[in-house]
């Protein structure tokens, strides 16, 4: 069994992005810029935004956070996004989710200029990803694909089971895998006999937010298991959606939680923002 070390890979990725950023500044006087909208005072969202701001500073990006009260109107958020769409210093726009219940998340995300949609949630980028055209892919699934590349894990023809069908993780993960010519099964909350699907897979990718959902008897010997879930238990421990201690001995590769997919998500946000900044060169 080999651990897939997302933390180390993310560090290498950020170092590369920092070098490319300095090159972009030197040759083209372009400093990549990322703007984040944070609505409300959810502690988890605030923590994520702080990590993103630190990552921007580390790689040499310009970044700004628009903090808004959870009572703000949908129109005010849209107005801020439109302002950032028109700001030539801003290459990437990110709306930290979830938003308050009175805000229509889909309406907010559709306002973002697709060329600045570094989260990959705009319908334009979703459609381009599904048809295997160049697009901004959501950061977590993109990070998983970078892990496969780094560890030389082939995907063509492999049976892959994606557990969870969210718009943020499961669906774009399936699209990226299909583009890599894997055979993909997507399961969700209404799937009957989940274990039948996971046991048949060469690769199991899980992102449900259910601690310990995947047990040892649900994966075959030698399987590759990617655990996207991150859950905080009552005792303060962070765990994934996989029963790691029991499942790991059966795997050829497995991601830990923490230290697996999580660090790659922010690294891919930096990569997408750099990609958006490079688009300024040809404008």
**pLDDT 10s digits, 11-61:** 999 999 999 999 999 999 999 999 999 999 888 889 889 999 999 999 999
Average pLDDT over residues 220-242: 94
pLDDT for 43: 87
CB 182 within 8 A of CB 160: yes
Q: Give the chain's length.
A: 283
Residue 236: per-residue pLDDT: 84
- Give the pLDDT confidence score for residue 122 in this predicted structure: 97
* Percentage of the chain modeled with pLDDT above 90: 94
For the chain, how big is the Rg over CA atoms in Å? 19
The two structure tokens encoding residue 39:
């609505």
Residue 225 near residue 153 (C-beta atoms within 8 A): no
pLDDT digits (tens, 9 = 90+) for 146-168: 999 999 999 999 999 999 999 99
- Res. 240: pLDDT tops 80: yes
Residues of the chain with CATH 3.40.50.720: 139-262
Mean pLDDT for 269-282 is 95
CATH 3.40.50.10860 in the chain is located at: 29-116
Residues 75-103: tens digit of each pLDDT: 999 999 999 999 999 999 999 999 999 99
CATH 1.20.1070.10 correct for 139-262: no
Written in H, E and C, the secondary structure of the chain is CEECCHHHHHHHHHHHHHHHHHHHHHHHCCCCEEEEEEECCCHHHHHHHHHHHHHHHHHCCEEEEEEECCCCCHHHHHHHHHHHHCCCCCCEEEECCCCCCCCCHHHHHHHCCHHHCCCCCCHHHHHHHHCCCCCCCCHHHHHHHHHHHHCCCCCCCCEEEEECCCCCCHHHHHHHHHHCCCEEEEECCCCCCHHHHHHCCCEEEECCCCCCCECHHHCCCCEEEEECCCEECCCCCEECCECHHHHHHHEEEECCCCCCHHHHHHHHHHHHHHHHHHHHHHC
Q: Residue 283 — very low, low, confident or very high, per pLDDT cuts 50/70/90?
A: low
pLDDT at position 44? 84
pLDDT at residue 234 is higher than 90: no
CATH no. for 29-116: 3.40.50.10860
Tens digit of each residue's pLDDT (9 = 90 or more) over 112-129: 999 999 999 999 999 999
Active site residues: 52, 96, 119
pLDDT of residue 211: 95
Model confidence, pTM: 0.95
């Amino acid at each position: 069994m080999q651990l897939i070390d997302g933390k180390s890979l993310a560090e290498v990725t950020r170092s590369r992005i920092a070098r490319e950023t300095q090159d972009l500044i030197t040759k083209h006087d372009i400093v990549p810029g990322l703007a984040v909208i944070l609505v409300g005072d959810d502690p988890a969202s605030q923590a994520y935004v702080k990590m993103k701001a630190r990552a921007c500073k580390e790689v040499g990006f310009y970044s700004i956070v628009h903090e808004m009260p959870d009572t703000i109107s949908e129109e005010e958020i849209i107005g801020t996004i439109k302002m950032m769409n028109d700001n030539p210093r801003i290459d990437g726009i990110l709306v930290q989710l979830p938003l308050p219940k009175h805000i229509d998340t889909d309406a907010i995300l559709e306002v973002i200029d697709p060329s600045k949609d570094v989260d990959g949630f705009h319908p334009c980028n979703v459609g381009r990803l599904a048809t295997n055209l160049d697009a901004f892919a959501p950061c977590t699934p993109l990070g998983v694909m970078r892990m496969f590349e780094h560890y030389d894990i082939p995907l063509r023809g492999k049976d892959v089971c994606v557990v969870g069908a969210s718009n943020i993780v499961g669906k774009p993960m399936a699209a990226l895998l299909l583009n890599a010519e894997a055979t993909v099964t997507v399961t969700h909350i209404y799937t009957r006999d989940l274990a039948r699907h996971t046991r048949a897979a060469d690769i199991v990718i899980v992102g449900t937010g259910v601690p310990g959902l995947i047990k040892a008897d649900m994966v075959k010997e030698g399987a590759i298991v990617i655990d996207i879930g991150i859950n905080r238990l009552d005792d303060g421990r962070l765990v994934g959606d996989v029963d790691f201690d029991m499942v790991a001995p059966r795997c050829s590769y497995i991601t830990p939680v923490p230290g697996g997919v999580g660090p790659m998500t922010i690294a891919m946000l930096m990569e997408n923002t750099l990609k958006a900044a490079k688009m300024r060169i040809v404008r």
